[in-house]
Chains A and B, each alone.
Chain A
Amino acid sequence: MDYLSLNRISKSFGKEKLLDEVTLGVAQGENLVIFGPSGGGKTVLLRMIAGVETVTQGSIEVGGRDITFDPPEARGIGVALQNFALFPHMTAFDNIAAPLAARKKSQSEITDAVQKIAKLLKIAQVLHHFPKQLSNGQKQRTALARALVARPPLLLLDDPLRNVDAKLRFEMRLELPRLLREAGATVIYVTQDYREALALGDRIAILMGGKLLQIGTPRDIYEQPASIKVAQLFGDPTINIFDVTQAVRENGQDVHLTLGGGVIPLAGATAKAVRQAAHAGKKLWLGIRPEAIDFVWPGEGPGQGTGEGSGQGPGQGTNQIAHKNAVVIAAKLEAVNPLNERHVSFLTTQEGHDILCSRPADEGGDPNQLAEAAKGQVKLQFSPDKILVFGGDDGEIMAHHDDAAARDATGDATGGATRDAAMVTA
C-alpha cells in the first residue's frame, strides 16, 4: 500500500493543461525525486499535494485518506518552497517555530525542538535574526528547518537548492541525504538538476510537459531511459544519439548496427524489436553515453604503432588494449575540452556523426598525443551492453537488456555506485 498516492491528477488553467493525468505512488519512508525541465509541472504538482493549489481532476490520498480538498493546515505536511517564503516580520526562531506553535506545543517544547533542528542545520547563531538579515544559505536552512521541525510524516521539498550559491549547493547535496534519512519521513523532492535527482532519489519520476514519462530507480533511469527525451535529461555532456535507421544489417538470425566502421551486435529482445522496426520502416536511433566510451589506448611502453585500422568486430588491435567483447570504431579527433575532472573529446565518425567521449583526466593517456601519433584518426571502444536503441518518431526505447533487467530484479545494490559515478561526471 502506497503511503502517498496521486490518482490521475490533472491541472488546467483555462485551456492550458499543466498536468495531464499524473498517477504516482510513493511508499512510506521513500525518497522520490520529481525531475524534469522547468515548466514541466513539477512545482504545480507539489503545490497540489501541499494543498495550496486546487486539483482540477483526480484525487490525492495520504495514508489511505483522501485529502484532495483538505485545506493545507489540515494535511500536516512539511514543505520547503523554492523561494523560501519566510515570514519577513518574524525572527528565524519564530519562523521555524511556526509549525510547532500551530500544533499548540508548550513554550519549552518549542524552544527545545527549534534549538535542536537549528543546531543540526548550523543556524543556531542566527535564530534571533529577521529574514532580511540572513544570507541566502541561512534562509534556505531556515526554510528547511521550518519544514522539518514538526517531524512531518510527509516532506515536500521544492528545489530547495535552486536559489543558493554553488558552494552551498554542493555542500547541501552531500548533507541532505543524511538529514532526510534522519527525518525518517516520506520525501518528495523536486529538482531540475539531474545530479541532485540521482544523488537523492530512491526513485525518480520524470515529469515533462505535464506528463509522467518514467518512474524508476536512478539506475534504471540512467541506464534504461524510456525515451531519447529522458536519456537527454541526464548526464553532462548529454548522451550521444546517432540516427541508425540506415545502419541496420541482418545476417540470418543476427541483427547488428554499423557505426564508424565497427559492428554493434544486438541481442535478444532488442534484436527482435529492431528487426521489426526496421521492417516497418521506423526511424531508429542509437544512444551511448559519453562516459561509456573509451579510447583504445596503446599498450604499456612507448613507441607502440598504430593499428591496422580495420576495426572489424570485437577485434583487438595487435598492440592496442581493448576490452574483451568491446566494440571498436574509428573516429577523427576534433578537439579536447577539460570539463571539471574530466576530459571531453569531440570526435567525428566516417559517417559524419559527432561523438562525445568523456574520460577521467587522470586515467589513460592524452587523447591529443594519441591522435597525433595516428594522424588524427583514433579508435574508440565501448561495451555493446552499454548501448541504447530508440525507435519511432518519439524515440522510445526498443527494449532494454535482458541482463540489465535481471539486475533490476535482484534489487538496487549497485545503484549507488552508478549514481556516484554519474555525479562525479559533472
Chain B
Amino acid sequence: MGGGAILRYSLHRLAILLVVVFFLFPIFWIALMSLQTNESILRIPPSMVFTPIFDNYQALITGKLITQAGSLDLPFMKNLFNSFFLSAASVAVALILGVPAAYAFARFKFRLGENIAFTLLSFRFAPPLLVLLPLSLIYQTIGLDNSYVGLIWVYQLICLPLILWVVRSYFEDISPEIEHAYRIAGHNWGQSFLRIAIPLARPGIAAAGLLAFIFAWNNFVFALILASADKQPVTVGALAFVTASGIQYGQIAAAIILSILPTLLLALYAQRYLVEGLSLGAVKG
C-alpha cells in the first residue's frame, strides 16, 4: 500500500468511527446517567468516572422514591405494562385481521382488495391528528375514551398496513402450485391456508409482527390524545414523568433506558427483516 492508500484507509475508518460515535453516544450517555446519583450527574465538568448505582432502577421498579423529603409514588411500571399490553394486543389483532386479508390480496386479484390495501396505505401517510382529533370526540360520545379497546383500535392504523403489505409480499412469493397440490390432495381451502400458506410465510409474518410491535411501542401521539395517565404507554408516560419528577435526572434517564430497551433488543433480533419491513417490501434486504 502506498502512502495515499493508507491515508485513505485511515480516513475511511475515522469517518466510520465518527458516525458510530454520533449515533451511539446519546444512548451510551443516557445509560451512564441512569447509573449515577443526581450529585454525580450535576458535576462540572461531566465525568465518566463514577461508582455505578442501581437506585434509579430500583426506585422505578418498586414504584417508590424515598428521599429526605419523604416518599413519592412512581407509576412508571404501569406505563411499561401499558406499552407491552397495547403493543402486543394491537399486533395480535392486526395479525388476525391482516393475515387473511393479505392472503386474499395476494391470491385473488380483486378490485375491493386493491382499494382496501391502498386506502390503508395512504392513511399510513396521512397526518394522524386528522383522524385522532375527531376520534377523541367520537370516543367521548361512545365511551371508548381512555380505554384499551379504543387505543388498540386506533393502533391498527400503524400495525395493519405494515402487516398487510409485508405479509402480502411473502404470500406472493409462495408458488400457488404448492397450494394447488395440497388442495388436489384432498384438503379444503382453510386447511391449505393454515398448513401451507401460513407456515411458508411464517418468517414474513414474524418479521412484520415484530416491526409492528416496535412501531406501536414507539408511538406517541395516539395515546397522548386518547389516553389518560392510567392507560398511557411509556412514550407519553416518560414525558409526564419529566414534568412530575422535576430534577430527578437519574430516574428520568433510567426510565428512558427501560423504555427504549425492549424495542432496541427486538430490532437487533429482527434486523434481518428490518429493511424489507421498513420499506414495506419495496427493498429486499
Binding site for B on A (CB under 8 A): 47, 50-52, 71-73, 75-79, 81, 83, 85-89, 98-99, 102-103, 146, 150
Contact = CB atoms under 8 A, between A and B. Distances in A.
A102 B180 contact: no
B175 interface: yes
Contacts of B270: none
Contact of A98 (B185, B188, B189): B185
B200 interface: yes
Interface residues of B, number: 18
Contacts of B189: 71
Given A73-B188, A87-B182, A99-B186, 4 more contacts: A50-B184, A87-B178, A87-B181, A150-B186
8 contacts: A78-B184, A79-B181, A79-B184, A85-B178, A85-B180, A87-B178, A89-B200, A98-B182
Contacts of A103: 186
A355 B189 CA distance: 57
Contact of A76 (B177, B186, B191, B200): B186
Interface in B175-205: 175-178, 180-189, 191, 196, 199-200
B153 to A, nearest CB: 34
A384 B187 CA distance: 57
- Describe A's contact surface by its main secondary structure: loop
B188 A71 contact: yes
A77 B181 CA distance: 11
Interface in B28-83: none
Contacts, number: 62
Interface string B77-102: 00000000000000000000000000
Contact of B175 (A79, A85, A102, A150): A85
Contact of A52 (B184, B186, B187, B196): B184
Contacts of A77: 184
Contacts of B178: 85-88
A6 B70 CA distance: 89
A98 B183 CA distance: 10
A146 B180 contact: no
Contact of A73 (B176, B177, B183, B200): B183
The 6 closest A-B pairs by CB, nearest first: A102-B186, A85-B177, A85-B181, A72-B183, A52-B180, A99-B185
B266 to A, nearest CB: 25
Contacts of B188: 71, 73
Contacts of A102: 185-187, 191
B264 to A, nearest CB: 32
Given A85-B175, A87-B196, A89-B200, A50 B187 contact: no
Given A85-B178, A87-B178, A88-B178, A73 B199 contact: no
Contacts of B177: 81, 83, 85
A150 B181 CA distance: 14
Contacts of A47: 180
A89 B196 CA distance: 8
A51 B182 CA distance: 12
Contacts of B183: 51-52, 71-73
A51 B184 contact: yes
Contacts of B180: 47, 50, 52, 72, 81, 85
Contacts of B176: 52
Nearest to B191: A102
Contacts of B199: 89
A88 B176 CA distance: 13
Contacts of A83: 175, 177
A72 B179 CA distance: 11
Given A76-B186, A98-B187, A102-B186, A81 B200 contact: no
Nearest to B177: A85
Nearest to B181: A85
Among B175, B177, B183, B185: residue with most chain A CB under 10 A = B185
A79 B185 CA distance: 8
B200 A88 contact: yes
A160 B188 CA distance: 25
Contacts of A73: 183-188
A87 B200 CA distance: 9
B7 to A, nearest CB: 48
A87 B181 CA distance: 8
A78 B188 CA distance: 15
B48 to A, nearest CB: 51
A76 B186 CA distance: 7
Contacts of A146: 181, 185
A183 B42 CA distance: 86
A357 to B, nearest CB: 44
A186 to B, nearest CB: 16
B172 to A, nearest CB: 16
Interface in B105-131: none
Contacts of B175: 83, 85
Nearest to A77: B184
A52 B175 CA distance: 13
A86 B175 CA distance: 10
Contacts of A51: 183-184
B150 to A, nearest CB: 39
Nearest to B178: A85
Contacts of A99: 185-186
A49 B176 CA distance: 17
Contacts of A98: 182, 185-187
